[in-house]
Copies of this chain bind each other. A is one copy, B any other.
């Protein structure tokens, strides 16, 4: 970029957030080769850190070389053969996207819709089909700010494999892949993990591994080939698959180390406290929250735009005057909902005061 004054934003939208400083500093380290022993050791550390934030002991837990949406694609292309029955819970944009992906893989999609702003109901989703191969659900819907109860779905999944989008939950709220029965999970780095976008943390259980597609339609995201690339956490010989995005992996490892040093429980409590205070503050301002009570994500708050207020003008005002980004709503809620993310390092009480104060100014004066 050539502009002489550097732009520094408060990234309070649905992601990316401002990265943890450790993640940014790591990007300035001398680059390593993708087969360098020092890098391989770093990759192993990143995979182990990911196991912690996923809440899993899955050997096959790794950062895929794509953004979160690439992780979604990896999940479906490796698991779905033409004709497989896939039940998808749709309570927002990312559930809809799951349907699109499953269809491209030739699945017989059983789409189960829920009102946007409401969670996926465990009873309804698990009784939608007698014997699906996969039940797919978004844990934290980025489009609506809603958390669904994955644990309750896992308890009722039966023989189905449970496929979960944890893009906006990982590193921010409770996520216990093994305990909840998540078989395939993908996430992103640019939300609560506090890293720039570009990687998709991925995990797959042995149970799902045995039922995967032998030769998926994707070479790039073929998990069968990716096993050797990370040594499958077993010290096996690494084999070349593709050139790992080394800088991004080193950055992810640094952020994970930071998160685990702070303590996963502490990090989650920090997200919860910031979200609680923000949501209380918005209601105190007379605004109405969008997501259903009891299912609100602390890391991503959705709030209705007050009548007579121009959503786009407010966002432009915040960007101009405060260098602050907040998100618009999605699709039918584009101009009637705002999405405010306090993720990663932004989950702190100062950010809450800042966004509440700036938003009040913007609503009154934009």
Interfacial residues, chain A to chain B (CB-CB below 8 A): 1-3, 6-9, 11, 13, 15-16, 18-19, 24-38, 42, 45, 65-70, 72-73, 77, 97, 100-101, 104-105, 188, 190, 196-198, 215-220, 241-248, 250, 253-254, 257, 319, 325
List of B residues within 8 angstroms of A220 by Cβ: 66, 69-70, 72-73
A4 to chain B, nearest CB (A): 13
Given A69-B242, A198-B65, A245-B67, A9:B28 Cβ within 8 A: no
Contact A66 B69 (CB under 8 A): no
List of B residues within 8 angstroms of A35 by Cβ: 13
Contact A243 B67 (CB under 8 A): yes
Subset of 27 A-B contacts with CB under 8 Å: A1-B29, A1-B250, A2-B257, A3-B38, A6-B29, A6-B30, A7-B32, A7-B38, A8-B30, A16-B34, A24-B31, A25-B28, A28-B28, A36-B319, A65-B198, A68-B242, A69-B220, A72-B219, A73-B219, A77-B217, A97-B219, A104-B217, A104-B218, A196-B245, A196-B246, A197-B244, A217-B217
List of B residues within 8 angstroms of A38 by Cβ: 1, 3, 7
List of B residues within 8 angstroms of A97 by Cβ: 219
Contact A16 B104 (CB under 8 A): no
Bound CA span A70–B73, Å: 13
Q: Which of B30, B100, B246 contacts A7 (CB 8 A)?
A: B30
A101 to chain B, nearest CB (A): 5
List of B residues within 8 angstroms of A242 by Cβ: 67-70
Question: This chain: how many copies in the complex?
Answer: 2
Contact B1 A254 (CB under 8 A): yes
In addition to A16-B31, A18-B31, A196-B245, 6 A-B residue pairs with Cβ atoms within 8 Å of each other are A2-B257, A6-B30, A66-B66, A69-B243, A73-B218, A197-B245
List of B residues within 8 angstroms of A241 by Cβ: 69
Residue of B nearest to A253 (CB): B1
Q: Which of B16, B69, B247, B250 contacts A219 (CB 8 A)?
A: B69
The 6 closest A-B pairs by CB, nearest first: A198-B245, A196-B247, A69-B242, A8-B30, A27-B27, A73-B220
List of B residues within 8 angstroms of A13 by Cβ: 33, 35
Bound CA span A29–B254, Å: 17
A34 to chain B, nearest CB (A): 7
A341 to chain B, nearest CB (A): 10
List of B residues within 8 angstroms of A104 by Cβ: 215-219
Bound CA span A190–B246, Å: 10
Residue of B nearest to A167 (CB): B243
Contact B32 A28 (CB under 8 A): no
Bound CA span A37–B35, Å: 37
Contact B7 A26 (CB under 8 A): no
Residue of B nearest to A217 (CB): B217
A192 to chain B, nearest CB (A): 14
Contact B36 A9 (CB under 8 A): yes
